[in-house]
Amino acid sequence: MNDTDRIKYLRIALIVVGLIFIFGLWTLTVIWPSGWSWHTEGRSEYLEMILGIYVTLGVFLILASRNPMMHLSLIWFTVWSSVVHAIIMAVESVVNTQHIGHLWGDVAALLIVAAVLATLTPRQHQCLTEPNR
């Protein structure tokens, strides 16, 4: 795949991931709490915090979709923070078996997001503001 196609698909992926972060996460915590919500008893300040962070990230991913190459640090932050978050949750899911459903829910989803964005993000880029050499 050439860089032009890769960027086109990256733009679509950023929009899709952004929309999922904005609208899908809360919906998934309601539909499948054992795979998406860590605290299901009563009001969860933890869930509100996580949703707030991911909704904000989703908005910025959608904004980044306009010109992904100017927002590489945000894209790579999303990739690596998703991997780290997934690893921590995977360990917690295995150690606390009542959370094992997360391995098939949010852990898998974060790894998929990371893999898609990492695969579609071009590795070499000459910034538009960088002088010609």
| 32 falls within a domain | yes
Res. 133: pLDDT tops 50 = no
Domain coverage including residue 109:
3-120
**In this structure, is residue 102 part of a structural domain?**
yes
Task: Note the pLDDT tens digit of each residue in 70-128.
Answer: 999 999 999 999 999 999 999 999 998 888 888 888 999 999 999 999 999 998 655 54
- The answer to whether residue 107 is domain-embedded is yes
The pTM is what?
A: 0.85
Q: Is 44 helix (H, G, I), strand (E, B) or coil?
A: coil
Give the span between the Cα atoms of 3 and 8, in whole angstroms: 8
Query: How many domains does the chain contain in total?
Result: 1
Task: Answer for the pair 72, 121: CB distance below 8 angstroms, yes or no.
Answer: yes
Residue 127 domain-assigned?
A: no
Count the neighbouring beta carbons within 10 Å of the beta carbon of residue 17.
25
* Residue 133 covered by a domain: no
Q: Is residue 20 part of a domain?
A: yes
| Residue 131 in domain | no
Residue 126 covered by a domain: no
